Amino acid sequence: MKDYDQLADQLRDKSLKLRAGAQYWIALAGAPGSGKSTLAEALKSRLGELLTIIPMDGFHYYRHELDKMNDPAEAYARRGAPFTFNAPKFVNAVIKARQEGEGLFPGFDHNSGDPVENDISLNKDSKIVLIEGNYLLLDEKPWSQLQNKVFDETWFLYVPLPECNRRVCARHMKTGLTKQQAQHRVASNDSLNAQLVTEVSIKNAQRIIRIN
């Protein structure tokens, strides 16, 4: 796709201008269903070893941690909302990796519903580091530390909210939910998260990405 090719070319040019040993860190924020992972993988397929993707998904709280929250039922129902992520762990890990140029990060197993520790590796050979997640550009702490301490460039992937909600609804239905169940989950959780992400991130992003 032309848009993906152009973005990849721009990042390749950035990598060529870096001093030896330097890295260029990008935040890719967007609402659930905006296509962040699709964009990230499209760039990876074009840039190869130049680019390392670090998704935020691995920093979901474990289910046993949700079980210990004040309202576990609410925590499960709102899983994916900011408070269901271990934000301090995420922010500290990203800041440390930015300082050192390398690190290990958790992935996420959708079958078990839990993170997988040390699943993603960043090494110093990666010139472009793309952090992908919903809440990278929030104003509140500890999220807000990322904008000043980590990222060279911040992107927001814009897709109209109705389209995001439609995509997430379809995603839920693929897991076996009925259309009514999927729509309820979107209305009670995903659309709330999407609205928050869009309202805040679009103000804080240095660049708004629209994929045609």
The pLDDT of residue 1 is 73
Q: Which of 157, 156, 154, 164 is nearest to 193 (CA)?
A: 164
DSSP state of 155: E
Q: Count CB neighbours of 91 within 10 A.
A: 20
DSSP state of 41: H
The pLDDT of residue 118 is 97
Dist. CA 161–CA 133, nearest whole Å: 16
Counting beta carbons within 10 angstroms of the beta carbon of residue 112, is it exposed (0 to 12), middle (13 to 18) or buried (19 or more)? Answer: exposed
pLDDT along the chain (212 residues), means of 10: 92 95 97 97 97 98 98 97 98 98 97 96 97 97 95 97 97 94 96 96 96 76
Where do the structural domains in the chain lie, given as residue ranges? 2-209
Q: Which CATH number fits domain 2-209: 3.90.79.10, 2.60.40.10, 3.40.50.300, 3.40.47.40?
A: 3.40.50.300
Query: H helices of the chain, where?
Result: 2-17, 36-47, 63-66, 72-77, 87-100, 145-149, 161-174, 179-185, 191-204
The pLDDT of residue 179 is 96
The pLDDT of residue 2 is 82
Please state whether beta strands 207-209 and 153-157 pair in parallel, antiparallel, or not at all (unpaired).
parallel
Tokens of 149: 């301490």
